[in-house]
Amino acid sequence: MASIYPFRAWRYNPTAVPLEDVVTQPYDKITPAMQEGYYQRSPYNLVRIILGLPELFDAEGGDNVYSRAARDFKAWREQGVLVREKDPCIFAYSQRFKVPGADEVKERRGFIALGKLHDYADQVVFRHEQTLSKPKSDRLNLLKATRAHFGQIFMLYSDPAGTVERLLYDGAGPADAQVTDEYGVLHRVWRVNEPAVIRMLASTMDDKKLIIADGHHRYETALNYSKEHAPTSVARTEHSANELPHPPYPEGAVMMTFVNMDSDGLVILPTHRVVHSLPVFDPANFAKAAEEFFSTEMLPEAPAASFLETLRKQKGTAFVAVTRTGAVLLRAKPEAVACPLSALPENQRQLDLSQLHTILLDRILGLDAEKVREQTNIRYLRDASEAVDQVRRGEADVAFLTNPVTMEQLREVAFAGSVMPQKSTDFYPKLLSGLTIYALE
């Protein structure tokens, strides 16, 4: 099952740079404006490694974003901007945050460690969404150039009793490092280097199966890279009672943050769909076509938050479709949707997003799987207000507001070996990149 290992992480030197000036959101959540802001914040901001600005490089001289990333990583270590832990550690990692759209404050507790890479066929690590080739190619180029992992794969494990959290957090003193990000999330990290605790943690995780919450592309990139560098014969990884566990070879593991999927601190937000630039779109014709599969109810003009509140009260599959003529509540008719969904695995037929993609996007609007995959006519937005405003400003044809996927649905689909539609989950908050770095050499 899951094998975890401590490691000698590279970390930003607090005497050289303030942590808040150098850490970033995950690379795929960095907008152009955020990228520019990170560049301005510090010459040592991690964005210069994980998402460099192409226009700053000399292509004719053989310089590119990846070669510059490797040079910066090397220089920062030599200059003492980054320093390496003396001993192998794991790191308790807590995030305290306000739930978007609510007044509730939660804390998500996990830990950072190396995790052994497995093929999905091993049924140790499970995915819940498909990946695309372009992001994997980009991350592979960066990994080859730098020989390091700068962000963590977000992994879920099941621990209803909370054994792992008690092991790491009971009696924890002040954090070794803390930073508040641009979304007001307080991130705190504690170094854990006691061999007995590490061995106990590794033993506790040994029977766990893992689900990738965020980081599918980086996980598959690391897995493929590990296969390229696997030795012809790998030494047995059993350890003596006094020896800390370690990867079979450096490329055989990747940096992960592990979070208990049974924890109250785990929050999944909905990702809304905005459809734009259709050759022909008539709201009346769309509503009429949708009536074959959904009951329809016109909603009064209201802010997006009101539409989301209406959605939360629905018992079965439901969406709010917003067009230029107004908002419509769509409730699935179980008998009507059964036929178009019959080709899907049973565990996916009940998913709201499977019904949205299969019936509303594909059958009614003509957006097949390839168009959705390439995002030809579709945008994905966390912010419901922005999704609605894009329609009202005439920048989109229709916005579909949705309820979030539940953890129970995610677990069922993933452990069955299935995948959800793209952008089905939005785990909040994201894991910061740059808190720890795993160098392969």
Q: What is the pLDDT of residues 271-322, one digit of tens each?
A: 999 999 999 999 999 999 999 999 999 999 999 999 999 999 999 999 999 9
Please count the CA atoms within 13 angstroms of the CA of 369 that sit on its side-chain side: 6
Task: Name the amino acid, one letter, at 41.
Answer: R
First vs last C-alpha separation in the chain: 26
- Listed in sequence order, the residues at least 6 apart from 151 whose beta carbon sits closer than 8 Å to its beta carbon are 26, 27, 50, 215, 218, 255, 431, 433, 434
pTM listed for this prediction = 0.92
Q: How confident is the model at residue 102 (pLDDT cuts 50, 70, 90)?
A: confident
Mean pLDDT, the chain, whole residue set: 93
pLDDT at 135: 82
The tens digit of pLDDT for each residue in 35-70 reads 999 999 999 999 999 999 887 666 556 688 999 999
The tens digit of pLDDT for each residue in 177-198 reads 999 999 999 999 999 999 999 9
436 token code pair: 């720890």
pLDDT at 139: 93
- Position 23 pLDDT exceeds 60: yes
3-state SS, one letter per residue, for the chain:
CCCEECECCEEECCCCCCHHHCCECCHHHCCHHHHHHHHHHCCCCCHHHHCCCHHHCCCCCCCCHHHHHHHHHHHHHHHCCEEECCCCEEEEEEEEEECCCCCCEEEEEEEEEEEECCCHHHCCEECCECCCHHHHHHHHHHHHHHCEECCCEEEEECCCCCHHHHHHHCCCCCCCEEEECCCCCEEEEEEECCHHHHHHHHHHHCCCCEEEEECHHHHHHHHHHHHHHCCCCCCCCCCCCCCCCCCCCHHHEEEEEEEECCCCCCEEECCEEEECCCCCCCHHHHHHHHCCCEEEEEECCCCHHHHHHHHHCCCCCEEEEEECCEEEEEEECHHHHHCCCCCCCHHHHCCHHHHHHHHHHHHHCCCCHHHHHCCCCEEEECCHHHHHHHHHCCCCCEEEECCCCCHHHHHHHHHCCCCECCCCCEEECCCCECCCEEECC
**Topology annotation, domain 271-403:** 3.30.1760
pLDDT at 133: 74
Mean pLDDT of 91-106: 94
Mean pLDDT of 349-354: 92
Q: Where are the domains of the chain?
A: 4-9+87-267+428-439, 271-403
Phi, psi of 354 (to 5 degrees): -65, -40
pLDDT at 288: 96
220 token code pair: 């598959």
pLDDT at 22: 98
Question: Residue for token digits 């995610």?
Answer: 410
pLDDT at 57: 65
Query: How many Cβ atoms are within 10 Å of 122's Cβ, its own excluded?
Result: 11
Q: How confident is the model at residue 367 (pLDDT cuts 50, 70, 90)?
A: very high
